[in-house]
Amino acid sequence: RSEPPQRMKVLVYGATGYSGELVANHAARAGFLLQVAGRSEEKLKRLASRLPGRVGYKSFDLDDARALDAAVGSVDAVVHCAGPFHNTYKPMLEACLRQSKHYVDLTGEIQVIEAISKYDGEAKEKGVMLLPAAGFDVVPSDTLAYLVSEKFKREFPAHFPSHLRVAFHFNTQGALISRGTAATMRRGKRGILLERENGEVVEKVAKPKPLRERQRCSFGLGKELTVKQANMADVSSAFYSTGIPNIICQMSDVASMSQLKHVLTPFSEGVSSRDKSGKVAKEQPIGPDASENEEGKCFLHATVSSSGASTRQVSGSLECPAPYKVTHMAILHILREVEKNNFRAGFCTPTTAYGSGFLEACGMKKTS
């Protein structure tokens, strides 16, 4: 009687953060041999005891190269959840390359994706996959950009798809962001917009437009919403997924205002508030609760077009679950594929790795 094959060993670093804990919880429930890691031994011990199955924990800082290499070397794949990623990606990614292990992260930072793309050759030599932006940033939008781009190429084979526009909208619950996401957003350059122009990421000074002059987008909802340019990670990732050299991202004004409110007044950990009677309220959460993640929705719209005298255009829309729900669903899909030895060595985006497979895996549906 043969023994069942051993499950894949996975290290989740940054596991005590909001997204990290979601990923760790679902990876443990899926049966992966899990190690949770981060800097706080006390928090990690509590987390490991709450998770299903036999979950190990390791406490170390990313500047401790010996501990980092030992932890990475003991697993098959790393899911890096500790942001802001411009401060943390390099030591973890380079440890994965030294130890020949797969690297997956949740970054939504344009410059981090650009930096990771430069490690493509080394990752191919090591036979491992580097897959940044494997959460909500950018799985659904990358999937939509890929689908619309492929449709354009089929319908207009004589035309070059030169421009991509990707727009985002969220319902009230879908617009909620965690404390960590808010911290990353607050660190961005104010008044600067990033877009891709002729294949290069460029900075442009934001020039506010009156509402009546702004573009509108229906998102497949049957009504048009005003949108404005936004710094979303697809400015980087969609270039590698589609080859389209000119890319801008937009967000509905409604969703943008909602997210701005959450950036200015984020969820906070360990901060209590008092009601009018003076009683201390329960500890505030660090991100959306389970019901908000179930009720949250995101709506995406993408347009691919050619330039020149005879412009051609293809558009499409997607509806998907709340961002943090998409994140853990996407990570589980990736881990299951890697466990089956289905991966592409080198730097990848979600769709260069797995095509349209995230549509079903993450509960997305086409709305137009």
Percent of all residues in the chain with a pLDDT value above 90, rounded to a whole number: 82
> Strand order of the sheet with strand 346-347?
56-59, 33-38, 9-13, 77-80, 102-105, 129-131, 346-347
Rounded to an integer, the average pLDDT of 176-190 is 83
Q: How confident is the model at residue 280 (pLDDT cuts 50, 70, 90)?
A: very low
The mean pLDDT value of the chain amounts to: 92
Asked if the model's pLDDT at residue 274 lies above 70, the reply is no
Query: Who's near 3: CB < 8 A, 6+ residues apart?
Result: none
**pLDDT of amino acid 212:** 81
Burial letters 161-178, b for 16+ CB under 10 A, else e: bebbbbbbbbbebbbbbb
Query: d(Cα 34, Cα 27) in Å, to the nearest integer?
Result: 7
Where would I find the beta strands (DSSP E) of 60-125? 77-80, 102-105
Asked if the model's pLDDT at residue 56 lies above 80, the reply is yes
**How far is CA 241 from each of CA 148, 235, 238, 348, rounded to the nearest angstrom?**
11, 11, 5, 8
Q: Which two tokens stand for residue 294?
A: 């179930």
Asked if the model's pLDDT at residue 271 lies above 80, the reply is no
Asked if the model's pLDDT at residue 275 lies above 60, the reply is no
Asked if the model's pLDDT at residue 363 lies above 70, the reply is yes
Rounded to an integer, the average pLDDT of 56-83 is 97
**pLDDT of amino acid 266:** 67
Q: Which two tokens stand for residue 223?
A: 């009504």
Rounded to an integer, the average pLDDT of 197-210 is 93
Query: d(Cα 274, Cα 277) in Å, to the nearest integer?
Result: 8
Query: d(Cα 204, Cα 19) in Å, to the nearest integer?
Result: 31
DSSP state of 355: G
DSSP string, 151-211: HHHHH-TTS---EEEEEEEE-TTTT---HHHHHHHHTSPTTEEEEEETTEEEEEE-----G
The set of long-range contacts for 20-26, using a CB threshold of 8 Å and a minimum separation of 24, is: 20/81, 20/82, 21/47, 22/324, 22/327, 22/328, 23/79, 23/81, 23/106, 23/327, 23/328, 23/331, 24/51, 24/55, 25/51, 25/328, 26/328, 26/329, 26/331, 26/332
Rounded to an integer, the average pLDDT of 71-86 is 97
284-317 pLDDT, tens per residue? 568 999 999 999 999 999 999 999 888 999 999 9
Task: Please tell me the pTM assigned to this model.
Answer: 0.93
Asked if the model's pLDDT at residue 342 lies above 80, the reply is yes
Query: d(Cα 320, Cα 366) in Å, to the nearest integer?
Result: 9
Least confident of 41-50, 134-143, 232-241, 261-270: 261-270
Query: d(Cα 317, Cα 161) in Å, to the nearest integer?
Result: 18
**pLDDT of amino acid 182:** 83
Better pLDDT: 247 or 182: 247
Contact indicator for 71, 58 with CB cutoff of 8 Å: yes
Rounded to an integer, the average pLDDT of 214-220 is 92
Task: For residue 138, say if its preceding peptide bond is cis, omega within 30 degrees of 0.
Answer: yes
Query: Roughly what angle, to the nearest 10 degrees, separates helices 85-99 and 110-117?
Result: 20
Q: In terms of Cα–Cα distance, which of 5, 43, 108, 107 is closest to 339?
A: 5
Amino acid at the residue 89: Y
Task: For residue 140, say if its preceding peptide bond is cis, omega within 30 degrees of 0.
Answer: no
Rounded to an integer, the average pLDDT of 84-94 is 97
Rounded to an integer, the average pLDDT of 160-186 is 92
Q: How confident is the model at residue 269 (pLDDT cuts 50, 70, 90)?
A: very low
Contact indicator for 81, 106 with CB cutoff of 8 Å: yes
Asked if the model's pLDDT at residue 325 lies above 60, the reply is yes
Output helix, strand, coil percentages for the chain, rounded to the nearest 5: 40, 25, 35
Q: How confident is the model at residue 181 (pLDDT cuts 50, 70, 90)?
A: confident
